[in-house]
Every structure is written in structure tokens, then in C-alpha cells.
Amino acid sequence: MAESHTPNRRGAPARPNAVGYRFIADQAALEALIGEILAGEEYGLDTEFHRERTYYPRLALLQVSFADHIALIDPQAVDVAPFAAVLNSPALAVVHAADQDLEVLDRACGAVPGRLFDTQLAAGFDGLSTPALGTLVERVLNLRLEKGDQLTDWTRRPLSERQLAYAASDVAYLLTLKQHIVERLGRLGRLAWAEEECAALLARPRGPVVPEEAWWRLKHVRQLRGRERQVAQAVAAWRERRAQRLDVPTRYVLSDLALVSIAHRPPADRGDLEAVRGIDVRGLGGGALAELLEAISEGTTMSPDEVHIPPGPPAEPAARPAAALGAAWVTSRARELGIDTSLLATRADLTAFFKERPEGRLTLSWRNELVGEPLRQLAEGTLALAVGPRGDLVLEERSHRPVSADVKPCGSER
């Protein structure tokens, strides 16, 4: 791994020296590497991938750090499936912003880590809101990572020395970073919270979108009504399945503009399709034209009961005042605790919690104790929200002494 670094005399972040690494482009070398990693208890992990021209993400490079070593694995030269042995092992995977990496690993190796520590997620429990890796390394370790080319093509070979050095730096400090965060959260009594969230991230469903739910991603989806929803669901499902089958982005099959236009005014034949905004009928080859017309017909005759309605409806009318007050208090509470607000409660969390039968994350574990129970008392009227002496919002026991209705506004005659 890279040499240890300390801040310079002026206190400015130090720049890392060149990071040493092994480039793995041989199957036997990969097998030997796997054995080395399995001998340890933790490893850093990152991926470089592309999905601009494909439906599924394509792994272009796999970076691993462990003990005092860094390895860069070339998936274009070796079969990375055996790396599943590492992912399935009891060793802890340390990843920064792991969500997309997990999807890539699942597809490339057929597995995800059995145990995970996400440094970005964990940093949110210490007041850092979704920091980039470079930002976190600088703030926690006082090191400044060299910036890489955001638009580099990781699929092209050979990779340059600069590309490889940048890729190695992405995992060079993960294990040290994790140790600092663990120590800090341990002192704050929040390590268990972070570990619970990392486990929840691992358990989150991954993989392709359910075709019948693909229309949920359309802009202004909640403005669609009646038959528009039916057609949007049927056409978006067709587009999703075709994109999966051809392994191309959905926009290559049909643009969102064309899909919404079709939902608003469903065409019945090729002539009607040619008049749809955002569509080029000449591009609907390979049977796509007939499939699209069939999907439109399916949508127009679909029963409303078959429509998959997007989750997260607005809060029930009676609960809206409590949800609005709760959102304001959660923001203030997060600031007080030095925790990323979205980790305490999102709007979706509040909507779920203030239903007639509360559900969701605020009913469970540390969130229920920290914010769920106080919010329940706020909704029941036993607690009230007030502005504290420092301008923050505080929950207080309610006096049940309403302001007199006959109080006259300032300036009125007595």
C-alpha cells in the first residue's frame, strides 16, 4: 500500500505518493490473489464500470486492497466469477458509496459481500452528508487524492499508468478510513446504527426494474390518469423487456417523450405512430413496430385493477399537519445531533409513519427511539413544537392552554 502520510507543517492536506499495485490479467494470478485475500479479515473494494451504451452495467476494472497490498483485476483478461469466494467469505468488505458497486458485483460475480461497511453511509452518522471519497479522505485523513478523468473510458485497453494509479488510489485508503470512522462512531455511541444501515443496504433488492413498474420513472408520472396510466405501464414494460433482451439503454428503444405522448393519445396504427412526437418509425425495426402497437393495444384494454400504482402516496389528510411539523423537527434534530437528515428520516419515512397504522423505518430500532416515539407523541398532541432560545425547534410537553380566540390583532381598537 502507499506509504504513510502526515500533514505538512502548514496544516494543508498532504498529497499521496505513488500507490503501488499489482495488475491481475492472468487466471492463475487471480486464483492466488483470492487465496491471499481470504487469509485476512477485511478488504477494500471498488469497481469501474460502464452502462452508457448497455442496459446492464459492464465491469471494466475491479480494485481490491488488503493488508499492505493493492490489486487491480482486469475482467477483460480473466473470468472474475471465482472472486465470489471472497465476497461469500466472512471477511468484511469496505466500500465507498456501495450501492452501484453491489449491482455490478452481483452481475459479474454472481454474489455480493456477506458483510459490508460503507464509508460514505457511515460518515453520515458523523455529520457528513454523502461525501465524495476524496472529500472524506481529506477531512478524515488530511490527504488529498489526485483527481481522475471523470470521462475516462475504462473499457479501452491498454489502460494508461495514470488510469491505473487513479484506480489504485480509490482503494488505497479505504481500510484506514474505515478504522477512523469506526473509532469516531464508537465514541459517539453510533457505530451500531451505522452497521445496521450497512446491513440494510446489503439486503436492499437489486437488479433490473420490474417491467410493470418501469413507468414509475417517467417525469410527472403522478399527472397521468385513467387510461393514460394503463398505456404508460404497458408500453414502458415492453420497452424495458426489449432493452433487457438487446442489452441496450431504454432510450435506444423508445424515448420518454415518445412514451408519454403515446400514453396521452394512443396511436392505433403505423400512420398514427408517425405523428407521435419524439418517435422515428424508421428506427422501429426487428419487429419492434408490431410489438409496440401490440403493447399500446394491451394498455388500452387493460383493467384498471392491473395497473401497478407507484408507492408513497401523499400523507393522509388528517396526518398532514403532523407530517409537516415532523419534517421541520427532524431537520432541526439532525442538525443538533450532527447526523445527515436523510439518515434520520426521509419524507417517505414520515409519510409511512403517519399512516393510520404506522409502518416503515421510524417504527424500528434506534430510529424509533430517537425520532419515532417523539413524533408519535407530537401527532397524539401530548408534545408540542416550539422555537428554542437558539432558534432551533424543540419538542415540549403541551400545556393544553390554547390562545384565547378573542385576542385582537395589534393596532385594533380596544
pLDDT digits (tens, 9 = 90+) for 228-244: 999 999 999 999 999 99
How far is Cα 78 from Cα 80, in angstroms, rounded to an integer? 6
- Res. 320 pLDDT band, cuts 50 70 90: confident
pLDDT of residue 332: 93
Q: What is the CA radius of gyration of the chain?
A: 27
Could you please report the per-residue DSSP string of 158-173?
Answer: SPPHHHHHHHHHHHHT
- Res. 227 pLDDT band, cuts 50 70 90: very high
pLDDT of residue 388: 86
- Res. 16 pLDDT band, cuts 50 70 90: very low
pLDDT digits (tens, 9 = 90+) for 81-140: 999 999 999 999 999 999 999 999 999 999 999 999 999 999 999 988 888 999 999 999
Strand partners, 12: none
Give the chain's mean pLDDT. 90
pLDDT of residue 312: 64
If you search the block for the grid coordinates 481522475, which residue do you land on? 148
- Res. 7 pLDDT band, cuts 50 70 90: very low
Tally the residues of the chain: 414
Please, is 159 exposed, middle or buried when counting C-beta atoms within 10 Å of its C-beta (0-12, 13-18, 19+)? buried
pLDDT of residue 15: 43
pLDDT of residue 25: 97
**Would you say residue 283 has pLDDT above 90?**
no
Q: Which domains does the chain have, with CATH numbers?
A: 22-203 (3.30.420.10), 211-306 (1.10.150.80), 317-397 (1.10.150.80)
Please, is 130 exposed, middle or buried when counting C-beta atoms within 10 Å of its C-beta (0-12, 13-18, 19+)? middle
Mean pLDDT of 246-256: 95
Q: Pick from 236, 63, 57: which is nearest to 133 by CA?
A: 63
69-73 vs 92-95, strand pairing mode: unpaired
pLDDT: which is higher, 197 or 17:
197
For 274-277, which contacts have Cβ atoms below 8 Å and span 24 or more sequence positions?
Answer: none
**Would you say residue 3 has pLDDT above 80?**
no
Task: Choose the weakest-confidence range: 97-111, 256-270, 276-290.
Answer: 276-290
Q: 3-state SS of the chain: helix, strand, coil percent to 5?
A: 50, 10, 40
Supply the pTM of this predicted model: 0.87
Q: Pick from 329, 309, 305: which is nearest to 377 by CA?
A: 329
DSSP conformational letter for 248:
-
Task: Choose the weakest-confidence range: 19-23, 29-33, 228-232.
Answer: 19-23
Q: Residue 84 is which amino acid?
A: A
- Res. 11 pLDDT band, cuts 50 70 90: very low
pLDDT digits (tens, 9 = 90+) for 142-156: 998 877 766 789 999
pLDDT digits (tens, 9 = 90+) for 166-212: 999 999 999 999 999 999 999 999 999 999 999 999 999 888 899 99
